[in-house]
Amino acid sequence: MEPSSRQERKQRTRQALRDAALRLLTDRTLASVSLREVAKEAGIVPTAFYRHFASLEDLGIELVDESMRTLREMVRDARRNRSDHEDVIASSVATLHAQVRANEDHFRFLIRERYAGTGRVRAAIATELRLFASELAVDLGRFDELRSWNAEDLRMMADLIVTAMLGTVMELIDASGRDADTEITRQARKRLRLIVLGVAGWRSDV
């Protein structure tokens, strides 16, 4: 019996709605779940949904924010672990693996709705991922071997890494249960290693 103010309770059912949606989105698309389903899953009556969101799409937008937050947490974790280990690639893939396993829902949501999403949700993910790649590009520019690279090339490399990373994420999620994790992370390291090796011979012309 928590006392809990009215605001707290509101935030809590709001969160319940987000969680309910993510649960339903395990094997469906946002566009294919109904407001009524989400409400029922969250334990409220359909019309009460409108006390929190104007539409399912608005809920989706908030899920994008929430999911991007865990994606950024992952990067922070990776940066922290980086200092310990020597091998940047190995430690990055390790934290990726850990974070994916801890937040499968968020990653799955982002990857699914990235292309399947409707209007605003998809647009939100696109801009967020663009921003995310920009941040990664800045990070990359701090490595000695990349100090001479121009912004465009760094951005290109960041895009490539993000794309490869998202591919690995979905492989991990699909393999959830089967213990293919060590194999998948091994391949992920190889991919990154191949990309990084290209840096040595890079010339920016053409």
Partner DNA sequence: ACTTTTGGTGAACATGTGTGCACTGATATC
Partner DNA sequence: GATATCAGTGCACACATGTTCACCAAAAGT
Residues in contact with DNA by the rule CB under 7 A: 5-7, 9-10, 13, 34-37, 44-52, 55-56
Question: Least separation, in Å, of the C-beta of 113 and a second copy?
Answer: 8
Of 92, 153, 184, 185, the one binding a second copy (CB under 8 A) is: 153
Question: Least separation, in Å, of the C-beta of 13 and DNA?
Answer: 3
Q: Give Cβ neighbours of residue 165 (< 8 Å, ≥ 6 apart).
A: 96, 188
Q: Using CA atoms, how far apart are residues 8 and 20, in angstroms rounded to an integer?
A: 18
Of 16, 98, 146, 196, the one binding a second copy (CB under 8 A) is: 196
Q: Binds 48, which of a second copy, DNA, none (CB < 5 to 8 A, cut-off by type)?
A: DNA
Of 35, 61, 170, 180, the one binding a second copy (CB under 8 A) is: 170
Q: Phi and psi of 4, rounded to 5°?
A: 60, 120
Q: Using CA atoms, how far apart are residues 174 and 166, in angstroms rounded to an integer?
A: 12
CA dist 25 → 22, 30, 55 (Å): 5, 7, 16
CA dist 26 → 19, 112, 113, 119, 198 (Å): 11, 10, 12, 20, 37
- Residue placing its CB nearer to a second copy in the complex, 14 or 120: 120
Is 43 among the residues that bind a second copy (CB under 8 A)? no
Q: Binds 189, which of a second copy, DNA, none (CB < 5 to 8 A, cut-off by type)?
A: a second copy
Of 157, 172, 184, 185, the one binding a second copy (CB under 8 A) is: 157
Q: Binds 28, which of a second copy, DNA, none (CB < 5 to 8 A, cut-off by type)?
A: a second copy
